[in-house]
């Protein structure tokens, strides 16, 4: 094949490929992949990072409003996770196996759902849902829920620390529960009247 003919054929092929690439939406595939990654992220810092990426690359994209909302919610939970009195780390947000309900609660908790955090605490306490029994994570999830404003989680922590003979921590979480509006049950005095 003469060089001129080869060059012409190569040029024609590259023009055809270029036209095919130009016909396909340039960012559609990457936008879809980024959207999916954002919807599956469970660590708040990852959600913020991915939302920022989406908003910077697709500011007028179909999911811009959702990405902005996710960024705001995950940003607030990042503040809670940075507190010294919340002992919950990235590894607690790692999905365990194929447990769909656990995965959903991890996602909800990452976005500030205190009820999901309490459910995760109870799963860790009992070692259910594909999660190992881990009392440190149980306490961590309850601390997280309490700082998200869950009065029952705070009171449950107060009871836990009372059982563990840690009166200072028990008093702290009982005060937090009362501050959040929790009404503790009246103690039974075991005396017949």
Considering the domain boundaries, does residue 21 fall inside one? no
Are both 149 and 163 inside the same structural domain?
Answer: yes
User: In the chain, which ranges are continuous DSSP H helix?
Assistant: 3-23, 28-40, 44-57, 64-81, 100-110, 114-126, 135-147, 151-163, 167-179
Are both 92 and 120 inside the same structural domain?
Answer: yes
User: Does residue 31 have a pLDDT over 50?
Assistant: yes
Tell me the pTM: 0.79
Give CA–CA dist 131/129, Å, rounded. 5
Mean pLDDT of the chain: 84
pLDDT grade for 129, boundaries at 50, 70 and 90: confident
pLDDT grade for 39, boundaries at 50, 70 and 90: very high
Q: Measuring CA to CA, which residue among 144, 133, 160 is closest to residue 105?
A: 144
The per-residue pLDDT for range 140-189, each reduced to its tens digit, is: 999 999 999 999 999 999 999 999 999 999 999 999 999 999 988 876 44
Considering the domain boundaries, does residue 4 fall inside one? no
CA angle 147, 43, 83 (to 5 degrees): 30
Considering the domain boundaries, does residue 10 fall inside one? no
Q: Which domain-ending residue is among 64, 82, 100? A: 82
Q: Which domain-ending residue is among 57, 82, 107? A: 82
The per-residue pLDDT for range 90-126, each reduced to its tens digit, is: 999 987 665 678 999 999 999 999 999 999 999 999 9
């Amino acid at each position: 094949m003469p060089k001129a003919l080869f060059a012409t054929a190569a040029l024609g092929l590259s023009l055809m490929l270029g036209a095919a690439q130009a016909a396909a939406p340039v960012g559609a595939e990457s936008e879809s992949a980024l959207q999916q990654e954002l919807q599956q992220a469970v660590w708040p810092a990852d959600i913020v990072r991915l939302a920022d990426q989406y908003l910077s690359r697709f500011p007028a994209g179909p999911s811009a409003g959702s990405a902005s909302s996710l960024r705001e919610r995950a940003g607030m939970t990042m503040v809670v996770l940075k507190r010294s009195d919340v002992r919950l780390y990235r590894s607690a947000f790692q999905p365990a196996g194929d447990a769909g309900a656990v995965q959903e609660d991890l996602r909800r908790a990452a976005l500030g759902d205190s009820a999901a955090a309490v459910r995760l605490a109870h799963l860790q306490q009992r070692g259910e849902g594909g999660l190992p029994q881990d009392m440190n994570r149980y306490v961590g999830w309850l601390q997280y829920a309490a700082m998200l404003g869950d009065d029952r989680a705070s009171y449950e922590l107060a009871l836990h620390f009372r059982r563990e003979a840690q009166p200072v921590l028990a008093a702290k979480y009982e005060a937090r529960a009362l501050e959040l509006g929790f009404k503790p049950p009246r103690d039974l005095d075991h005396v017949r009247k």
